[in-house]
Structure 1
Amino acid sequence: MTTTDRSRRASVLPDFIDTHVIVLFFAAVAVFAALGFARPDIFLSAQNLQSMLLQISVIGLLSLAVALTLLTGGIDLSINAVANLASIVAASFLSASVGSNLGLPPELLAVFALVVGLVVGLLCGLFNGFLIAVLGYSPILATLGTMTLFIGFGTVITGGSTLFGIASLANIGRGAFLGIPFPAIVFVLIALGLAAMLHGRRLGFNLYLYGANPTAARYSGINTRKLLLIVYAISGALSGLAGIVNLSVTNSANVDFGSSYVLLAILVSVLGGISPLGGVGKILGVIFSVIILQLLSTGLNLILQASGSNFLRDFAWGLTLILVLAIGRVQFGSLQKLFSRHSGTVEKGEANGKG
């Protein structure tokens, strides 16, 4: 098969889909069918399905935030701290507004809370981007430091206690359209919009190029500082939105919520085909990956519901992440060897041609 034949066959798939995404899709269908067959009375109940969709929306938004930064070859470890801080500030705003008797409609207060959460997330993301893009800090060290900083801010605001929202915001979070919870619809729309942006706009091209080869991106004239600021700002906004979604679903906010969500978001991203080295991966893969992990989580819950222990679940997530990283390393190593072999062949051919 010639190179032209291979490229022609590859072009059958849209740019935002690859074979990994297709494999994940069928894997999600298989896991869903297996659990539905094993425990149809519990797993296929409307209550369980809606509960899964609500959990997918929060984890999914955080996973998108991580995936974007991984595509640049960086990472954002502060996503959960940003989400909690956004929900805490929004809940504080709601409490102050209700207590001050401003007379604003509850629905309008809910919209203001959403805006406040997004602004908090955006500012946190811009701060991360400033540390990384402008000051040149390592992404893992910068976001590890800001994670602690944001947790500290949240603790000061709450005093270590739990804050609560208002009924109108909870009604939105628990509302549904045709049986599908609003938060799940929001997640899908944002994920699809993000996929379209990355695979049909200049920003996406620049992001993938920078993730694959930062030096080449700089020499091609890309403003890499601006690019990183935008990426981490979007990551922060997505994290802030995840915090507001969680506030609307649980009607509460505290600094300790979702302590394992950073690990889960990284696991979702890597399992979805996002390379930790940057420059490789599809957003649709993240969508199917979060669905698969939520299905597996529900399956583990069905197994462990008698014991009520979370140890095996956390152990399974950690083990799964290690296995996924190991498989990805082997695959990347094979691709690297293949590339080196072809590069060597080309260099020899050029040398022979010159001779």
Structure 2
Amino acid sequence: MKSIIHRFNATFGADMAGPLVAFVAVMLVFGLEADNFLSAGTFGSVAFQLPELGLLTLAMLLPLLTGGINLSITFAANLSGLAAAWVLQAYGGVNAPPSAFLLACIAALMTGAAAGALTGAAIAYTRAHPILVTLSMMIFLRGLGEFLTRGGDVSGFPDYVAPIGHGSVLGLPIPLLIFIICVGLWHLLLTRAKLGFGLLMIGSNIEAASYSGLNTRRILILVYTLSGVMCAVAGVIMLARFNSVRVGHGESYLLITVLAAFLGGINPFGGFGRVIPVFVALIVLQLLSSGLNLMGANQHLATALWGVLMIVVMAARTLASKFFILNRRKG
């Protein structure tokens, strides 16, 4: 038993216990109470709804691990989507060749990276609080997007773009596959790359990280640049999903990304967290929403229950941490 516990702790950490308990609870409750919950339709719906929120959560994840936050993720995603849309429009809109879509994706990634780098540089060099900097960037990006689009949307894209938002490969939605690849990249970044070690050090104690020889300014700029790149990926997915781009798309996802990260065991003050528990937490949130919809509950009730679930999971994580520490001392 102890060997299983130690192996689980080494692989996932104590922060995985909360999301797993929540997952089992949601499956049991809605499996018994909601008709057709345990069906291919439910899981197919979750698979298609998960990627957009998941990609934006990954964009939020790295700044949170440094002890910061990125409140501009949704508008960075939309502005990146707008950049891609304008490139496609410039090459003929619905008649744009596939090569134009490649240029559109590059334009989206560069836009997201630029927004993130500007945010990171402001935080790194001014030492202003990330909430203030990213709030300012959020307002700037929103205003810029509304100015450029006059509050409207950009639509009319080639037919080959739609499968990126709605298509599937071997029964798995393409957006989900893209999200899983991004989860894998973020996992490798945090567990194998020097940048991952550096950003966790900054989250634990930025002054100690600086004294230990880390270039904290460079790391912060890279963190927010990567956050912007992930926003751009989400923006392209939303472009393909809705066949249009609008400044307000996905605006309601912002606070849910923070909720999902904390449900997944991310330390609110930075310095500690893993990607896989956050992935499980995202699945739990989507399953909870789908289960309530099947039971005919009001969507506002789902929002309220998300808050309750966060308290339950964080309590379970605290108890699990104490349990693992106790077992380690006994071992």
The bucket for the TM-score relative to the shorter chain is 0.7 to 0.9
Pick from 143, 151, 162 the counterpart of residue 170 of structure 1: 162
Shift of 1:262: 0.7
User: In structure 2, how many angstroms separate the alpha carbons of the residues matched to 1:29 and 1:316?
Assistant: 16
Pick from 255, 260, 263 the counterpart of residue 252 of structure 2: 260
Aligned pair 1:204/2:196, yes or no? Answer: yes
Partner of 1:126: 117
Contact 2:116/2:229, CA 8 A, preserved across alignment? yes
Shift of 1:235: 0.6
SS of the residue corresponding to residue 225 of structure 1 reads helix
SS of the residue corresponding to residue 253 of structure 1 reads strand
Cα 1:150–1:184 shift into 2, 3 Å = same
User: In structure 2, how many angstroms separate the alpha carbons of the residues matched to 1:250 and 1:124?
Assistant: 23
The CA deviation string for residues 145-198 of structure 1, in whole angstroms up to 9 with x for no partner, is 100110111112221112223321112221111111111011111112211221
Partner of 1:186: 178
SS of the residue corresponding to residue 221 of structure 1 reads coil
Partner of 2:16: 21
Moved over 4 A (4+): 8-11, 13-16, 318-321, 324-328
Partner of 1:156: 147
Contact 1:211/1:278, CA 8 A, preserved across alignment? yes
User: In structure 2, how many angstroms separate the alpha carbons of the residues matched to 1:122 and 1:272?
Assistant: 26
Superposition pairs of residues 38-49 of structure 1, within 5 angstroms: 38-41=33-36, 44-46=39-41, 48-49=42-43
User: In structure 1, how many angstroms separate the alpha carbons of the residues matched to 2:244 and 2:166?
Assistant: 13
What is the aligned-residue identity percentage? Answer: 35
Shift of 1:10: 7.5
Question: May I ask how many residue pairs the two structures share in their alignment?
Answer: 320
Contact 1:16/1:282, CA 8 A, preserved across alignment? no
Aligned residue identity for 1:19: A
User: In structure 1, how many angstroms separate the alpha carbons of the residues matched to 2:132 and 2:315?
Assistant: 26
Pick from 258, 273, 288 the counterpart of residue 281 of structure 1: 273
Aligned pair 1:236/2:228, yes or no? Answer: yes
Partner of 1:52: 46
Shift of 1:13: 4.3
Partner of 2:77: 83
Partner of 2:90: 96
SS of the residue corresponding to residue 163 of structure 1 reads strand
TM-score, length basis structure 2: 0.87
Pick from 108, 120, 127 the counterpart of residue 136 of structure 1: 127
Tell me, which stretches of 5 or more residues in structure 1 are unaligned? 1-5, 339-355
Aligned residue identity for 1:312: L
Pick from 287, 296, 302 the counterpart of residue 294 of structure 2: 302
User: In structure 2, how many angstroms separate the alpha carbons of the residues matched to 1:166 and 1:68?
Assistant: 34
Quote the RMSD (CA, aligned, Å).
2.8
Contact 1:15/1:199, CA 8 A, preserved across alignment? no
Max radius of gyration: which structure? 1
